[in-house]
Amino acid sequence: MAYNLLKGKKGIIFGALDENSIAWKVAEKVHEEGGSFVLTNAPIALRMGKIKELAEKTGAELIPADATKIEDLENLVEKATEVLGGKLDFVLHSIGMSVNVRKGNHYTDMNYDFTTKGWDISAVSFHKTMQTLYKKDAMNEWGSIVALTYMAAQRVFPDYNDMADNKAYLESIARSFGYFFGSEKKVRVNTISQSPTPTTAGQGVKGFDGFIAYADKMSPLGNATADECADYTLTLFSDLTKKVTLQNLYNDGGFSNMGVSQQVMDTFMKEEDS
């Protein structure tokens, strides 16, 4: 069901890779709600993923950009405002990668060059994106910038590895830059802390399937899907959330406020009884 929430609004969506990506679902829904946008991803992701299909389906222009490179971001913002015919109303940062996770390095046995690369891609790229938007005065007043995060920024999930540190850094950047963007340009900046979601990136984490099942049993409403995360993102892009900024917003079925659930207790009691 469409509400025309984003009629006439323009933006940039980072990070769509395939139909499992949250960014992909956001793009589809923004299109349904009357918004127009430019899609972007790193050149290698454009070759590997199916993003061209999404661009055709939504009538979006595709502009490659490595979000860790300022010159790429400057080119992206300049071209996006040109293609879309004016300043932007929304930006989605849906980028994250840990080389240590990919290479199977344990948290207690880091390759620090990989660590640096990981936080540059996953967190500092958000600062670089916002700094570029800010310096180019590319956002309309009451615009909205959203980044996707995960609760491992606050609590220990051992196999999430250094991505937990990356997400903590990302959330801090959102608050710090969000202050300047809000007070000087009336732009809001928030992060959405999503349930574990079986995206291409998420499935790289060891034991992920088991954790999804556990989180589902812990959450009174069950895990939020990628589709539901996209719906929530749309509300933050819309004019209905004009005064919501500097927030880390949980879209997790209630998981973040749970200590233990009856379902989880029942599972352990069964194990003890057997």
Q: Which residues pair with 11 in a beta bridge?
A: 37, 90
Catalytic residue chosen out of the listed positions 107, 112, 134, 150: 150
Residue 15 annotated as binding site: yes
Residue 59 annotated as binding site: no
Phi, then psi, of 25 in degrees rounded to 5: -65, -40
Catalytic residue chosen out of the listed positions 112, 134, 160, 250: 160
Instruction: Provide the CB-side half-sphere exposure for 12 (13 A, CA).
Output: 38
Active site residue 150: yes
Distance CA 21, CA 16 (A): 6
Q: Is 156 exposed, middle or buried (0-12, 13-18, 19+ CB in 10 A)?
A: exposed
Residue 95 annotated as binding site: yes
Distance of CA 97 to the CA centre of its chain: 12
Phi, then psi, of 150 in degrees rounded to 5: -150, 150
* Beta strands across the sheet bearing 61-62: 61-62, 36-40, 10-14, 88-93, 139-149, 188-194, 248-251
Active site residue 169: no
Phi, then psi, of 237 in degrees rounded to 5: -80, -20
Q: Which residues pair with 149 in a beta bridge?
A: 193
List binding-site positions.
Answer: 15, 21-22, 95, 167
- Binding residues for NAD(+) are 15, 21-22, 95, 167
What residues act catalytically? 150, 160
